[in-house]
Amino acid sequence: MIFVDTGAWFAAFVPADADHVVARAWLVRNQAPLLTTDYVVDELLTLMRMRGENRRALRVGQSLFDQELAELHLVSPDDIHAAWGVYRQFSDKQWSFTDCVSKVVMVSRGIQTAFAFDSHFRQFGSVAVVPSGE
């Protein structure tokens, strides 16, 4: 299973994004099941709306909530509590709280690969980031 971050979803679905071609090509080739969180979807839909992509956001959001694109992990109170611990522990990093939630979910689900363009996933240390070198 591969975890999908906000920036990867955005790049895959917004043609104006600098990483669109690479993201779209990777997504089309990928055969592994994907997982994302409701926190990532929140970030994605907000980002899309703020960047003038509301119509696209409505389509992508529906597909994500219908779990057509990926399994949707609903963040639990335990996930939030653990993420708060990560957020405090790594206060020297520029990780968003959503990044910390993503890290917690990846560890708890045993996911070691992330589809991401965010350098923070590389800072996690235990995560292979795709696409690499494209």
Single pTM value for the model? 0.94
> What pLDDT shows up at residue 69?
95
pLDDT of res. 134: 45
Look at residue 133 in the predicted model and tell me its pLDDT.
52
Cβ neighbours of residue 14 closer than 8 Å, sequence gap 6 or more: 20, 48, 51, 53, 56
Instruction: Return phi, psi of residue 94, to 5°.
Output: -95, 30
Task: Calculate the dihedral angle through the C-alpha atoms of 65, 115, 11, 21, rounding to the nearest 10 degrees.
Answer: -130
pLDDT at 5: 96
Cis peptide before 77 (omega within 30 of 0): no
For strands 128-130 and 34-37, give the pairing: unpaired
CATH number of the domain located at residue range(s) 2-130 in this protein: 3.40.50.1010
Please give the average pLDDT of every successive group of 10 residues along the chain, which has 134 residues. 97 96 96 98 97 97 97 98 96 92 96 91 86 65
Beta-carbon contacts of 27 under 8 Å, excluding residues fewer than 6 positions away, are 12, 115
> Which residue, among 124, 131, 129, 128, has the nearest Cα to 104 in the 3D structure?
124
